[in-house]
């Protein structure tokens, strides 16, 4: 292998022509005689050898690397050979060191390349792993999204159930008395039918049948019934506010209207002793999903009303609204049982509920927060056990 540091050098390799010329001339001058430098094979590399020349070998390792040929005295020629050899040893050491250095650098470079490849491979592995992790995160996020939607759906069904119960109660009452009124009115009509047969009796029959009362009461009954029917109609109108829950289209609305709608659902079905108050300030109209926010308001009011009812004492639920920096602040404040800090910490956890099994899904606040966050808003609880609670929403304009 040429260039390997451990190759065996020839004389010509160690001493290039120019160097040999300088060295040979100097040695010839010192010897004061003609001189030739021969290689290991006996060929003249430099100089002239007279016919009567004697030869002196010079050995680098164990074999002659070449010869000096001259007619100079043997002692002088030997000295010249010793001198030349020292030069050769120094040159050989230099060449070996150079070549070894080159080899070592190449080896180190190779090692670096290998390490680099290993690093590149490792980097590729990490990249693949990172991509895989990214994919897994995305899958998890998708799953969570789906679960959240399911939770939301479940909660929606639950509030629809509550709403239905409320509505049934609200509608049942007027329908009851309207029906009773109509039955009474039917009886009054029978009296008029009986009058037809007793028309000959004149005024006596009128009095006997008590038709003055019938006319007076009939008018009352009709008025009451119309009021009852109007009430049913109002309830139905209020319900429309919630019917666009499934139309998640952004609208620009005055949230005071939405709050009013939500509060109206409770009018007529508040537990005894609970008063629902409103403290609205004029609000800027903001883009939002009103159907979803109605859900939130309904739920917060429901919770507050329940918290007051749980005290067993009279109390109030105040729904307030005001413009705030960069948006709108809405607060539902009650004088109810309040929440401990442990309860507050867990309040937004799915399925966390302090109510008896079966009366709540424990999803209300979770879903409320989800909806508020979907509006880039915030929801917070401020409460002390025994002294009520305030839930504050911030919604950006």
Binding interface with another protein (CB under 8 A):
1, 4-6, 8, 59-63, 89, 93, 96-97, 100, 103-108, 110-111
* Closest of 62, 86, 53, 47 to residue 8, by C-alpha: 62
For 228-264, give one letter per residue: b (16+ CB within 10 A) or e: beebbeebeebbebbeebeeeeeeebbbbebbbbbbb
Residue 67 C-beta: closest distance to another protein, Å:
17
Closer residue to another protein (CB): 106 or 141: 106
Two structure tokens written together for 312? 């067993």
CA distance 113 to 100: 19
What minimum distance in Å lies between the beta carbon of 29 and another protein? Answer: 28
Residue 59 or 144: the one with the smaller Cβ distance to another protein is 59
Report the half-sphere exposure of 222 (CA within 13 A, side-chain side).
9
d(CA 337, CA 307): 5
CB of 366 to another protein, least distance (A): 60
**Nearer CB in complex with another protein: 110/172:** 110
- Rounded to whole angstroms, what are the CA distances from 192 to 179, 186, 203, 216, 220? 20, 10, 13, 14, 17
SS3 label, residue 348 = coil
**Cα–Cα distance for residue pair 59/40, rounded to 1 Å:** 10
Nearest residue to 369 (alpha-carbon basis) of 341, 396, 344, 393: 393
- Residue closer to another protein by CB (options 64, 350) is 64
Which two tokens mark 120? 């590149």
CB of 103 to another protein, least distance (A): 3
Q: Provide the β-strand partners of residue 213.
A: none
Minimal distance, residue 76 CB to another protein, in Å: 23
Longest CA span, the chain: 188
Closest distance between another protein and the C-beta of residue 92, in Å? Answer: 8
Going by their DSSP bridges, the two strands 64-70 and 44-47 should be labelled as unpaired
Question: Which residue lies nearer to another protein by CB, 113 or 219?
Answer: 113
* Of the candidates 61, 62, 60, the residue with the CA atom closest to the CA atom of residue 87: 60
CB of 7 to another protein, least distance (A): 9
Tell me the closest approach of the beta carbon of residue 5 to another protein, in angstroms. 7
Decide: residue 199, CB within 10 A, 0-12 exposed, 13-18 middle, 19+ buried. Answer: exposed
Q: Closer to another protein by CB, 99 or 224: give it.
A: 99
Q: Torsion angle, CA of 374/375/377/382, rounded to 10 degrees?
A: -70
Query: In this complex, which beta carbon is closest to another protein, that of residue 65 or of residue 232?
Result: 65
Q: Looking at beta carbons only, is 1 or 51 nearer to another protein?
A: 1
Q: CB 114 → another protein: shortest distance, Å?
A: 9
């Amino acid at each position: 292998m040429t260039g390997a540091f451990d190759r065996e050098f020839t004389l010509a390799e160690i001493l290039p022509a120019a160097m040999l010329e300088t060295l040979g001339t100097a040695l010839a001058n010192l010897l004061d005689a003609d001189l030739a430098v021969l290689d290991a094979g006996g060929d003249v590399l430099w100089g002239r050898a007279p016919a009567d020349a004697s030869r002196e070998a010079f050995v680098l390792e164990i074999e002659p690397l070449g010869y000096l040929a001259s007619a100079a005295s043997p002692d002088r020629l030997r000295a010249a050979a010793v001198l030349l050899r020292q030069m050769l040893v120094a040159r050989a050491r230099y060449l070996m060191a150079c070549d070894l250095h080159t080899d070592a650098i190449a080896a180190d470079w190779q090692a670096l390349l290998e390490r680099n490849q290993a690093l590149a491979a490792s980097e590729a592995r990490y990249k693949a792993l990172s991509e895989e992790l990214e994919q897994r995160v995305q899958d998890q996020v998708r799953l969570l999204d789906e679960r959240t939607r399911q939770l939301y759906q479940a909660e929606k069904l639950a509030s629809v159930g509550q709403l239905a119960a409320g509505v049934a109660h609200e509608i049942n009452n007027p329908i009851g008395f309207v029906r009773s009124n109509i039955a009474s009115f039917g009886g009054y009509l029978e009296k008029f039918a009986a009058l037809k047969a007793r028309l000959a009796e004149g005024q006596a029959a009128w009095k006997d049948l008590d038709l003055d009362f019938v006319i007076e009461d009939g008018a009352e009954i009709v008025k009451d019934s119309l009021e009852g029917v109007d009430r049913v109609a109002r309830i139905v109108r209020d319900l429309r506010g919630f019917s666009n829950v499934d139309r998640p289209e952004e609208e620009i609305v005055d949230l005071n209207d939405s709050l009013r709608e939500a509060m109206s659902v409770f009018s007529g079905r508040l537990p005894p002793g609970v008063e629902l108050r409103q403290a609205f300030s004029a609000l800027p109209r903001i883009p939002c999903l009103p159907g979803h926010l109605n859900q939130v308001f309904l739920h917060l009011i429901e919770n507050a009303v329940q918290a007051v009812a749980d005290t067993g004492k009279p109390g109030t639920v105040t729904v307030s609204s005001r413009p705030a920096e960069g948006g709108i602040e809405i607060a539902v404040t009650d004088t109810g049982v309040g929440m401990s800090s442990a309860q507050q910490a867990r309040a937004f956890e799915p399925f966390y509920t302090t109510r008896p099994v079966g009366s709540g899904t424990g999803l209300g606040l979770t879903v409320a927060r989800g909806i508020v966050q979907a509006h880039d808003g915030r929801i917070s609880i401020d409460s002390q056990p025994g002294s009520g609670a305030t839930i504050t929403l911030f919604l950006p304009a």
